[in-house]
Structure 1
């Protein structure tokens, strides 16, 4: 079953103030579509500012793939109000266009319909565009339009002081980093609970399967392919994965080992990617032919992170100051929310990450990482299957998913009651009371609810209907924490910053590329 954390919970119940000051930040991606539900062919709207330098609104892979970013804050409601304001401003700025409400993309005929994001004429802007061209060559542009939500989470120093006995972030960086890595190991072992409950991609447009080989047991309608018990095709082998990375066997036992493994992947040649070549018809098409062009190409359900300094690599930042927060990357877009995620989900992730840092987490061998991935795949492909089983540990016996999930919720409920001491209501415990039922009734999960509607109305029809209703609602909404002037100011400032960066370049791009991983 799950680890016994009774003593840790007893400690936490005696030190509830240690959790005061948890910080959270949200990143939500979303495709722009036209009013008929097709992928938008327009450029990123200039009124929104520079995608290279805007702190809140940018693009991910494609010109049409928006990314909304909130600053890290301690108040959940303020964080969601900020994200809501970003959506209001964007909806008011994109004319007739709308936001696709699902993780898996709308109908896209082929890769050539997807326009890679552009970031201007600076060396760093060209490098960002080249990296995306490399992704297109390696994995296909349509796959890169898959969208998700990233949840950035950090414990306050008060927690580390009480839990680890460290005085500050500098002297305690090794202990804090080790604790975050323990959290990550537990996330790999038990984080499948997130796609089980909140996976929202049990089906895809049939266009996504164009020329793709898959062994998944799909069932079909005229326009949709679906898995009867699937939860998150986004996290399946069909979605955001890389076969070249699957054999890396990354572990999370120590900072030095993890960073060493990532850096090794950045220098390890891939026969598959070498075959693509570095240039095509005189145009550069990837940064290099290594397994990872850059560190951010690493696909993982959770990442250790630290805010970087100017021109600092993510791994260098962690070596410098230790792990500062974790980035949870396994949340599908929530189509039941106009902004892709709701407070209920945030509170669940809070509870689960606190559990992960409290529970014992033995060191992992590379083989166990692969084993945990198989557990995840079972959940994302057939998590709602009647009497579904799952195992804990490499040698663990298969046990009913229902029992493991409900056992986990017993601990989560105790943590919820501790957090609710800081609330004016029982928001955290209410989340537990609601979602524990989904282990007995899988149809209550997001994927279960969605698939029933897809079968009745059609995936594209549901997507377009939701997109229209959310556009109308956001258009009629008022800003809560930001103002129109704030957005105008940030837009103008971002454009100014981009021009300054472009004016400061003093070396040719070819030389800049060599300095940043190019061959």
Structure 2
């Protein structure tokens, strides 16, 4: 293509055969709040029957003790990944306290006026466990605990090395041909990342599922939302309020200069953020009046995970590596697509169609030209994202491209048309028709805004009398669904063993000699190496 995700048709090269896509892997991370029978956020600890959240490979907690996170291992097909995710949900429902269920929407709707009633996730007495809880406490005092109760779906996808080997052979640039496979793979994944960022308006329109919020979520916050029905606020043409300024936003991060034009630049930007103090966070203090730490440090980012991004380059860390150290050592292994709302119409929060669409989109982004994103283009991307969040279902909406405004629906249709051949290729590689069916469904949503998830949700929210009633109806449906879900003996034994193993691993961690927590925290607070500042330590 002559321009990134723009003017020309993507011509599939003759060498791109289905066999090159065999070996793709995908994994899913889904978050969901636990809800009490009275409708409020659970105040109970992480269910004992789920094992240790610190060490369980598949079922853990995110920000809150009440915010479950389900994690599938990498799977070779979409049905395998979704089936495993469904088994995790079925197993979890068996362990929930009496009367509890899982909330089925991205935006929470069971919060009272007191933020402290959103319990921080607890990970035991080991230093790493205390560190994880302290990190969450820091997030709470920086941005408020309510924001941290938003749920999403992260879709992880990787392509096989034989695809990158063939891509490299076709390069005309001699410098790219001479790169190691590791470095070339990272180069291409960063191209995918840039194009995915460019395609965010399409993702939010087609998969966005947060057009309303409960009034309790915006307690004490300024907003531009309108009343829809008692207790529910909305914007008439919104798609994904989770992705807007009410969601995961951080003004301190906007000026970081972290870009995705290459891996070294990305890593340098992350390092700068981790070691740079931020006045607003310095004003919060490091410790309370009793000398107990209240945040890891007062830097722009406490740790790398605090960087809120639409997509992340990933490499599994080994030992005590940070994510950046793993990337620097072994390059990009896969990408994590993070701009995905929970689909309320699926008991696992994501449908087969959404998964297949995301994989076609990822391949499309990988195979398309992807020049660097300039500051000017990034400004347009940010502007487009805000417009689609708030008015994405407007029938005559335009978005800004580097060459000028284009009709939003025409722009989506153009991309979906170009993606069709890739969907056929993926179908052939996986012996299925999931991918072409997904593109067909997304085209229907493009043609008719009333078929989008956000439009359907808005209609049913009104029908049921508010976001709370709609969400509670779904939660009850899915509770019944999992009560009758068959969990085969092999899967049950595997998950029960994971529970036992997680407990043993946490006990082992807590039984080992470890330094005082303040000593453990010292490297994360030591700025002297970079800025000549004095060490700051808890008492």
Report TM bin, short chain. over 0.9
Closer/same/farther in 2, CA of residues 268 and 370 from structure 1, 3 Å limit? farther
TM-score, with normalisation over the residues of structure 2? 0.92
Most deviating of 30-39 and 472-481? 472-481
Give the number of equivalent residue pairs: 515
User: In the TM superposition, what whole-angstrom CA distance separates every residue of 1:118-154 from its partner, at most 9, and x where no partner exists?
Assistant: 0000010010000000000001111101010000111
Query: SS of the residue aligned with 1:410?
Result: helix
Contact 2:22–2:160 (8 Å) recurs in 1: yes
Q: CA deviation at 1:301?
A: 0.6
Cα distance in 2, alignment partners of residues 135 and 199 from structure 1: 25
| Residue 36 (str. 1) matches residue 45 (str. 2) | no
Select 2:426's aligned residue among 419, 427, 438. 419
Select 1:382's aligned residue among 391, 407, 412. 391
Contact 1:250–1:366 (8 Å) recurs in 2: no
Query: 1:17-166 maps to which residues of 2 (within 5 A)?
Result: 17-94=19-96, 95-109=98-112, 110-165=114-169
Cα distance in 2, alignment partners of residues 180 and 7 from structure 1: 18
Query: SS of the residue aligned with 1:265?
Result: helix
Query: SS of the residue aligned with 2:95?
Result: coil
Q: CA deviation at 1:480?
A: 5.2
Most deviating of 332-341 and 358-367? 358-367
Aligned to 2:314: 305
User: In the TM superposition, what whole-angstrom CA distance separates every residue of 1:32-74 from its partner, at most 9, and x where no partner exists?
Assistant: 0012321111000111000100000000000000000000111
Structure 1 stretches of at least 4 aligned residues deviating more than 4 Å after TM superposition: 4-8
TM-score, with normalisation over the residues of structure 1? 0.96
Closer/same/farther in 2, CA of residues 437 and 31 from structure 1, 3 Å limit? same
Cα distance in 1, alignment partners of residues 248 and 513 from structure 2: 34
Cα distance in 2, alignment partners of residues 505 and 229 from structure 1: 56
Aligned to 2:453: 446
Select 1:434's aligned residue among 435, 441, 458. 441
Select 2:412's aligned residue among 388, 405, 413. 405
Q: CA deviation at 1:514?
A: 0.9
Closer/same/farther in 2, CA of residues 4 and 220 from structure 1, 3 Å limit? closer
Q: CA deviation at 1:487?
A: 2.0
User: In the TM superposition, what whole-angstrom CA distance separates every residue of 1:377-424 from its partner, at most 9, and x where no partner exists?
Assistant: 11111100120111222xx31111111000001111111111111344
Q: CA deviation at 1:482?
A: 4.8
Select 1:470's aligned residue among 472, 478, 503. 478
Contact 1:333–1:340 (8 Å) recurs in 2: yes
Select 2:513's aligned residue among 500, 505, 511. 505
Contact 2:26–2:75 (8 Å) recurs in 1: yes
Select 2:334's aligned residue among 320, 325, 330. 325
Select 1:272's aligned residue among 270, 275, 280. 280
Contact 1:36–1:464 (8 Å) recurs in 2: no
Query: SS of the residue aligned with 2:13?
Result: helix
Cα distance in 2, alignment partners of residues 433 and 141 from structure 1: 39
Query: SS of the residue aligned with 2:343?
Result: coil
Q: CA deviation at 1:517?
A: 4.3
| Residue 224 (str. 1) matches residue 227 (str. 2) | no
Closer/same/farther in 2, CA of residues 425 and 155 from structure 1, 3 Å limit? closer
Closer/same/farther in 2, CA of residues 423 and 357 from structure 1, 3 Å limit? closer
Q: CA deviation at 1:455?
A: 1.4
Cα distance in 2, alignment partners of residues 275 and 219 from structure 1: 35
**Where does the alignment leave 5 or more consecutive residues of structure 2 unmatched?**
171-175, 527-535
Contact 1:82–1:482 (8 Å) recurs in 2: no
User: In the TM superposition, what whole-angstrom CA distance separates every residue of 1:291-340 from its partner, at most 9, and x where no partner exists?
Assistant: 10000000001001100001100000000001111001011111000010
